[in-house]
Amino acid sequence: MRTFFVSLLGIALLAAFIHIIAVLTLPYLAPKNAWARVSALSEPNRMVALPAANPSHQSLPMMAPDVRYSVCRFDLSKGAVRLSTQILDDLWLIAFYTPSGENFYAITGRELKRNRIEVIISTQNEVGVKAGASLLDEVEDLIVVDSPVREGVAVIRAPLLGPSYAAQTEAALKRSSCGRHLPGS
Amino acid sequence: MRSLLHLLLIFVVALILGLGTAWHTIEEGSALTTSHVGPWSVWRSAGKPDADPYTKAHVARAGRLPITASTALYFYANKDEKGEQLSSDCEYVIEGQPLNAAWWSLALYDGTGRLVPNKASRHSFNRTDVARRADGSFRIVLARSARPGNWLPSAKQGSLQLMLRAYGLRDATSVLDQDAATRGLPTIRKVVCQ
């Protein structure tokens, strides 16, 4: 009888341990997480307009068929990265992620109230508040995003207001860009 | 020999239990991570940097890049109002009141998460392209063959999944509250099966 209860206790403790290890390691073991998929799509610091989701192809799982996406996998190891895009609608949204899919920052068109923006992505304390402030004086459309990670992903989401908006939206996303930020240029 | 077998048995049972519960809480969610509103489930902390380990594991496994709840919410359903698996053998009526969101989109996927091929190239309805009644409410019919009004073409076979994205939800917290939400989110009612 005693052995039975000791066994049950052993099973419970071991199962709890395995459960915790599995949950904690899964984010690092999932071979097809979003970071792996985005990395396969492009070189770092390049803007890639994802093809519209269709029955035979989706760049990321369960993409919205009526949203157009553009992604930039940024790498800040050689300095800040500059993202620039048109914003055609209040619904447009730019979200920034760490490689494990944490959405550390997001800006919506509604908050921006302008139709073209430049975003400087930099690691914390690199561009610094002072530099950021002076840059902001120079170009008022500039937003400085402090990234907690050296590598990550920026995703522009452009919801379609109707099927007839697709061409115009895709064209605007194709014109958006991402690249090394060279101060003074 | 007997005690060795005993230990092995303990280990195997613990392994099954540990991995089984981990898989279930990551895939299906639990009260800790997900809210259920009628047929819809939502991972409350998806995408948040301070999310719990279950949500982080779920997001990594899903391979998606969700926006956090303050900006957008993703409602997922693979069952109807009565808790039965959505199937392409059946016809469903999805009815909803105007959602208090800047934009929303309801998209249909097959059991593996792919969009369903159809001649109309119709995979979703959203706030701007759904035909609405005078009071703003809408009715979408999910069926294999064409229906008048908002027809969302279903697959030839297999199970189905629905994803309702709500961008700029103005009362995100109240949508997660059961009573308000049952009024706010669309219902999924099975009409007939073949």
Tens digit of each residue's pLDDT (9 = 90 or more) over A30-71: 788 899 999 998 889 999 999 999 999 999 999 999 999 999
Question: Are A53 and B115 a contacting pair, CB within 8 Å?
Answer: yes
Chain-chain contact of B57 with A14 (C-beta, under 8 angstroms):
no
Total count of residues recorded for chain A: 185
Torsion of CA B146, B150, B152, B153, to 10 degrees: 10
Phi, psi of B28, rounded to the nearest 5 degrees: -95, -20
Q: What is the mean pLDDT of residues B155-183?
A: 74
Chain B residues with beta carbon closer than 8 angstroms to that of A148: 49
- Chain A interface includes B57 (CB < 8 A): yes
Chain-chain contact of A53 with B123 (C-beta, under 8 angstroms):
yes
pLDDT at A130: 42
Give B169 or B88, the one with higher predicted confidence.
B88
- Chain A interface includes B17 (CB < 8 A): yes
- Using DSSP, state whether A137 is helix, strand or coil: helix
* Span of B23-37, B109-123, B127-141, B158-172 with lowest mean pLDDT: B158-172
pLDDT at B185: 87
Chain-chain contact of B14 with A14 (C-beta, under 8 angstroms):
yes
Task: Report the C-alpha gap between A180 and A184 in whole angstroms.
Answer: 12
Chain A residues with beta carbon closer than 8 angstroms to that of B15: 14-15, 18
Q: What is the mean pLDDT of residues B147-175?
A: 84
Task: Report the C-alpha gap between A184 and B26 in whole angstroms.
Answer: 48
A1-7, Cβ contacts within 8 angstroms, sequence gap of 24 or more? A3/B6, A7/B6, A7/B10
pLDDT at B172 over 70: no
For residue A152 the two structure tokens come to: 């990550």
Nearest-CA distance from A24 to chain B in Å? 6
pLDDT at A134 over 50: no
- Chain A interface includes B117 (CB < 8 A): yes
Cβ neighbours of residue B81 under 8 Å, at least 6 residues apart? B38, B39, B187, B188, B189, B190
pTM for this predicted structure: 0.88
Helix (H) or strand (E) holding A5: helix A2-29
Which of A30, A54, A155 is opposite residue B115, by nearest beta carbon?
A: A54
Q: Percent of chain B at pLDDT above 90?
A: 62
Query: Which amino acid, one-letter code, is at A27?
Result: P
Structural domains of chain A ordered from first start:
34-180 (2.60.40)
Which CA distances in Å does A15 have to A37, A123, A161, B4, B115?
32, 40, 50, 18, 38
| Mutation site, B19, B41, B65, interface A, largest A CB count within 10 A | B65
Task: Report the C-alpha gap between A64 and A62 in whole angstroms.
Answer: 6
Going by pLDDT thresholds of 50, 70 and 90, the confidence category of residue B81 is very high
Q: What is the mean pLDDT of residues B156-178?
A: 78
pLDDT at A131: 41
Per-residue model confidence as pLDDT tens digits over B36-65:
888 999 998 999 999 999 999 999 999 999
Q: What is the mean pLDDT of residues B79-98?
A: 93
Going by pLDDT thresholds of 50, 70 and 90, the confidence category of residue A15 is very high
Question: Are B97 and B184 a contacting pair, CB within 8 Å?
Answer: yes
Torsion of CA B160, A99, B31, B186, to 10 degrees: -40
Which of A12, A33, A66 is opposite residue B126, by nearest beta carbon?
A: A66
* Span of B89-93, B118-122, B175-179 with lowest mean pLDDT: B175-179
Structural domains of chain B ordered from first start:
68-193 (2.60.120.600)
Helix (H) or strand (E) holding B176: none
Chain-chain contact of B48 with A103 (C-beta, under 8 angstroms):
yes
Chain A residues with beta carbon closer than 8 angstroms to that of B63: 30, 32-34, 36-37, 60-61
pLDDT at B117: 92
pLDDT at B71 over 70: yes
Per-residue model confidence as pLDDT tens digits over A82-114:
999 999 988 999 999 999 899 999 998 888 877
> Where on the phi/psi map is residue B32: left (φ > 0), alpha (ψ -120 to 50), or beta?
alpha
| Mutation site, A6, A18, A41, interface B, largest B CB count within 10 A | A18
Which of B21, B65, B124 is opposite residue A65, by nearest beta carbon?
A: B124
Total count of residues recorded for chain B: 194
Query: What's the mean per-residue pLDDT of chain B?
Result: 89
